[in-house]
Structure formats: C-alpha cells, structure tokens
Amino acid sequence: MDMHLNGKTALVTGASRGIGLAVVRALVAEGVRVVAGARHPKGELVATGATAVAVDLSDPAGAERLVTEAVTELGGIDILVNNVGGGDGGLNGGLLDLTDAQWAQVVDLNFFATVRVTRAALPALLSARGAIVNVSSVGARVPHDGPMPYTTAKAALTAFGKALADEVGPQGVRVNTVSPGPVRTDIWESPTGYGAELAASVGVPHSAFLAGLPSATGMLIGRLVEPDEVAGLVTYLASPVAAGTTGADHVIDGGSVKTA
C-alpha cells in the first residue's frame, strides 16, 4: 500500500534502537526525510539515511534544540513520533522501595520529555496540518504489568495524547497513540535489562523467562511483537491513509489485553 508519504518530513525521538530505529527505517523507506533524535546515535541509525541528532531529552533544553535542528534541516515538520522512553530498570520494588528521585527520573523521561518536544514542535505541525504519534505501552491499561513509575507515566502519556487530539484536531493536526505489549527489544532481551531483572527476581533463567513470557501475559500469537510490526502501525497512523483517525489509542500486544 502506498502511504502517500514520499517527500514528507518527520522528527522521531528515542531513535537509536528498538521501536524507534524501526520507525525511522519504515519512514525512510516510504520516502520521508527524517531527523532522528537519540542520546547516543549509533551506526545502525546513521545507516538509515536519516539525519541523526545527539540529544538528551531528560534535559529540558534538549527538546527545543532538537526541534530547532529538525526545522532547520527539514524546512518544517509534517510528522512527529514521540518514542523516547525507558528507564524502567531497577524499579522492581514496591511503593515503599521507590524514591522521589526514581519517580521523577522515570516520569520525566516517559512523559515530560514528550510534552516538551511536542510543545516545541507544535507550531511547525500546525503549519503543516501534520500528525503526531506517541508511543505509550499497554502498561497504561494494565498498570500492574510493569514498574509502577513507568506504567503511571505511560498512563499520563496516553491521556495527554487524547487531550491534545481534542485541542489541535480542529486545527488540522491528528494525534494518535500506539501502545505495544512486550516487544522483542533490549528491554526484554538484554542481559542487563528489565526482563533479566524480572527473571532474576522470580528465580527463573532469563532464557526460560522470555520463552514463557507470551503465554504468561496472555499473548495469543505465541511470541513477542516485532519492532517492525509496531513501526508499520506508526507509519500508517502518521500517513494520509489514516486521515480519519485521531484521538485513538491503538494496542499492539498480540491479544494480551482482553478488554475493549
């Protein structure tokens, strides 16, 4: 299917690996000129042909600088994909184990970073009558399926997308949210990531934990979701093909969430 994106421009955050890298590749394949923000741009990101910008979006000044560079490089922004997030490692304790500093760090990266980037990019998006896609998590709907600060921040992000869609929809900007379940990324597969920490906390070898994760979370496809599958959904929502879709939260979790 032709997504009618050739010649469009996009800014993608959290773009160096996993879902973000897959989104950059998908957009570039559709002929989109992309500026990709990442804390540590790697060779794989550079190889996509996107313009990689090193930026730390936990720094409040980073959002404005990234958007300024994107507008300068691209001449405007048609699409914003807010994928920046993470910081969910080391948070397997309960509420009494979590400090204010841990809460602040996770909420800042998974929520406020997106608020700042969106606010900085909104004038360009309004001018282009563009599209915003925020990458949240099924943890926003099933908050016990992850560290409390992380899922709380993602719930705020999902609510932000709906509120923003209502505000800017009449001005021609569409806003949608994508909420993945477990995706085959370093969060789950890295020996130092959240998945490995969770496996250790329940006394199960990491490999066995990953093998049983789809069944344990009720995924009907029998495997983790692939980053490219999430990127395909993001690309569709960012495209004119989805012109009638806004203010929606699109779950891509292999069927693990059983409610509407």
> Which residues are marked as active site?
150
Q: ∠ at Cα 121 (13, 109), nearest 5°?
A: 40
Nearest CA-CA partner of 27 in 236, 259, 251, 247: 236
Q: What span, in angstroms and rounded, lies between the C-alpha atoms of 135 and 143? A: 16
The sheet with strand 79-82 has its strands ordered as 51-54, 33-38, 9-12, 79-82, 131-135, 174-180, 249-252
Q: At a CB cut-off of 8 Å and minimum separation 6, what does 61 contact?
A: none
Q: What span, in angstroms and rounded, lies between the C-alpha atoms of 232 and 155? A: 23
Number of residues in the chain:
260
Q: What are the two backbone dihedrals, phi and then psi, of residue 236, each rounded to the nearest 5 degrees?
A: -60, -50
The label of the residue with tokens 């790697």 reads 42
For the chain, report the end-to-end CA distance as a whole number of angstroms.
28
Burial class (CB in 10 A: 0-12, 13-18, 19+), 98: middle
For the record, the structure tokens of 145 come out as: 């399926």
For the record, the structure tokens of 20 come out as: 């973000």
